[in-house]
Amino acid sequence: MTALQTTIKLDATIQRDLLSRARQVAQRAYVPYSNFPVGAAALAADGSVFTGANVENASYGLTICAERSAVTALASAGHRDIVAIAVSAPRVPLTTPCGACRQVLNEFRPVSEDMIVILDDRETGRAVRLGELLPMAFGPRNLEGEGEQSIE
């Protein structure tokens, strides 16, 4: 599947659904070392949703975050644009993706608009743009010879 133009508009219903799915998958996280479960639900441009939970490893560096788990599922299904992703950490409200996850999310940012990251505030979610979390990001378009990326 090639990159698609974003056709899904994020409304309150979709935002609640993504947040609900992120909360549900966080319950299945494998976190025997940190006891810090995280769930993520990524919305592809065609409306498909892919979830992931963090999976820890005794060799801590091999741990995978929930966001990267969801992105891996999405990319493995052939999708290349993420319209929005919800992130839920039941123990701490408004947990944001780590730096590595922000960079991985940037790889799948739609060309036409910024990705929305929905943070679990224990209510309906707080939506922020990926550009706010990762300003002046380096990404795939920097390697395509399209010139300078605009600074948001």
Domain CATH number, residue 45: 3.40.140.10
Residue 129 lies in a domain: yes
Supply the pLDDT for residue 5: 42
Residue 67 lies in a domain: yes
Residue 18 lies in a domain: yes
Residue 105 lies in a domain: yes
Residue 6 lies in a domain: no
Say if residue 74's pLDDT is above 90.
Answer: yes
Q: What is the pTM of this model?
A: 0.89
Alpha-carbon separation of residue 67 from 95, 118, 124, 132, 148 (angstroms): 12, 12, 19, 17, 27
Supply the pLDDT for residue 149: 52
Domain housing 76: 12-143
Residue 2 lies in a domain: no
67 assigned to active site: yes
Residue 25 lies in a domain: yes
Mean pLDDT of the 108-131 span: 95
User: Catalytic residue among 56, 67, 113, 132, which?
Assistant: 67
Residue 7 lies in a domain: no
Mean pLDDT of the 56-63 span: 96
pLDDT digits (tens, 9 = 90+) for 3-39: 334 456 789 999 999 999 999 999 999 999 999 999 9
Tokens of 62: 């091999």
How many domains does the chain divide into? 1
Percent of the chain with pLDDT over 90: 81
